[in-house]
Amino acid sequence: MGTRSIKEVAQLARVSVGTVSNVLNRPEIVSPATRERVFEAIRELGFVRNEVARHLRVGRSRTVGLVVLDVSNPFFADVAQGAEAVADEHDTMMMLCNSSADPDRERRHLDQLEQQRVLGILITPVDAASPRLAELTARGTPVVLVDSAATGMQCSVAVDDRLGGQVAAAHLIERGHRRIAFVGGPFSIKQVADRYAGASAAVEAAGEGVELVDFETAALGVAAGRAAGERLAALPERERPTAAFCVNDLLALGFLQAMSLRGLKVPGDVAIVGYDDIDFAAAAAVPLSSVRQPRELLGRTAIELLLEEVSSPGEHRHRQVIFQPDLVVRESSKALRENG
């Protein structure tokens, strides 16, 4: 059977094409009896609305794009879950795209989303200052930065990453550690740079005798954390940091695995603090201390800002929402170190 048309639905339901259109798009203005007659005709004919044609007529789809740095990181899965819950409430679909922290890949995703005339784009950008984001906004596609602060050109939702890094390092210093590894990278990612700046501020405030040792990674996954842990474990004991602040929990889990494989005790030999507080942090062999971000709330707030801009573009004023991080202390960093 071929594709049925809206005209055929109208004929079977004995109503006008305009009435069928109202039932599909503004059902509240059609009487219940007429609505039911139209729906019965739709079911009988197997009518499916041609969304592509509809989008061309109305100018925008009912889809938003979400572009993240690493789809394998549970942090972004939780952000997406929060955003999707709000999208569902507004009869809107969400398309998830993975940039893998690659600027070229990110640009291709943005091009495709713009070509599909999405309502707007949520993005954790490789570079928040990328001119491509400003171009999208200028051409009428609203953009909201997620887990990254904007400069005022777009709305953004983020956590105070500088404060988060400061809190993590200060906790390790309070536990008696004087040589702390900073595990993360690349520093071109703003969240990494901000967390490093916060950790550096805590070390500087602690005064002489406290040191932050850079263990930069090329990526933010478990394998990169494991490699950094191997580098630390290979150092002579007198040069080895006694604590590590990892810029996300995937790095921290890989780092913890390397400590176990090398026979180093956590936290006895090396204390560890991660970032994000994904579910796996609490479930690790040694439960990980972590700087908690309100993951689902980030997603919910971001899409609420986006839909607000879509619904009232003339009245909308860009906002930068900053949430405060919390340190969750678990076994991986709880013990005091008496001899620094």
Q: What is the pLDDT of residue 109?
A: 96
Tell me the two tokens of residue 317. Answer: 């004023």
Distances (CA, A) of 252 to 66, 151, 274, 276, 291: 26, 30, 5, 10, 12
What's the CA gap between 80 and 95, in Å, rounded? 10
Please list, residue by residue across 43-67, b when 16 or more beta carbons sit within 10 angstroms of its beta carbon and e when fewer do.
Answer: eebebeeeeeeebeeeeebebbbbb
DSSP 2-20: ----HHHHHHHHTS-HHHH
Distances (CA, A) of 323 to 37, 63, 162, 165, 304: 50, 27, 12, 14, 15
Q: Encode the chain (340 residues) as per-residue pLDDT tens digits.
A: 455 778 888 999 999 988 988 887 777 788 989 988 988 888 788 776 554 444 444 456 789 999 999 999 999 999 999 999 999 999 999 999 999 989 999 999 999 999 888 999 999 999 888 888 988 888 889 999 999 887 777 899 999 999 999 999 999 999 999 999 999 999 988 899 999 999 999 999 999 899 999 999 999 999 999 999 999 999 999 999 999 999 999 999 999 999 999 999 999 999 999 999 999 999 999 999 999 999 999 999 999 999 999 988 778 899 999 999 999 999 999 988 875 4
DSSP 95-129: EEEE-TT-HHHHHHHHHHHHHTT-SEEEE--S-TT
Distant-in-sequence contacts of 125-129, Cβ < 8 A, 24+ apart = 125/67, 126/69, 126/99, 126/101, 126/102, 126/188, 126/189, 127/103, 127/188, 127/190, 128/156, 128/190
To which residue do tokens 């979400």 refer? 66
What's the CA gap between 232 and 234, in Å, rounded? 5
Q: What is the pLDDT of residue 53?
A: 47
220 and 191 in contact (C-beta within 8 Å)?
no
pLDDT tens by residue, 243-302 = 999 999 999 999 999 999 999 999 999 999 999 999 999 999 999 999 999 999 999 999
What's the CA gap between 274 and 251, in Å, rounded? 8
- Give the DSSP H or E segment for 330: none
CA atoms within 13 A on the CB side of 307: 20
Q: Strands 326-328 and 289-292, how do they pair?
A: antiparallel
Cα three-residue angle 108-146-160, rounded to 5 degrees: 140
Tell me the two tokens of residue 62. Answer: 């009912």
Q: What is the pLDDT of residue 2?
A: 52
7 and 17 in contact (C-beta within 8 Å)?
yes
To which residue do tokens 């503004």 refer? 26
Q: What is the pLDDT of residue 48?
A: 62
Structure pTM?
A: 0.77
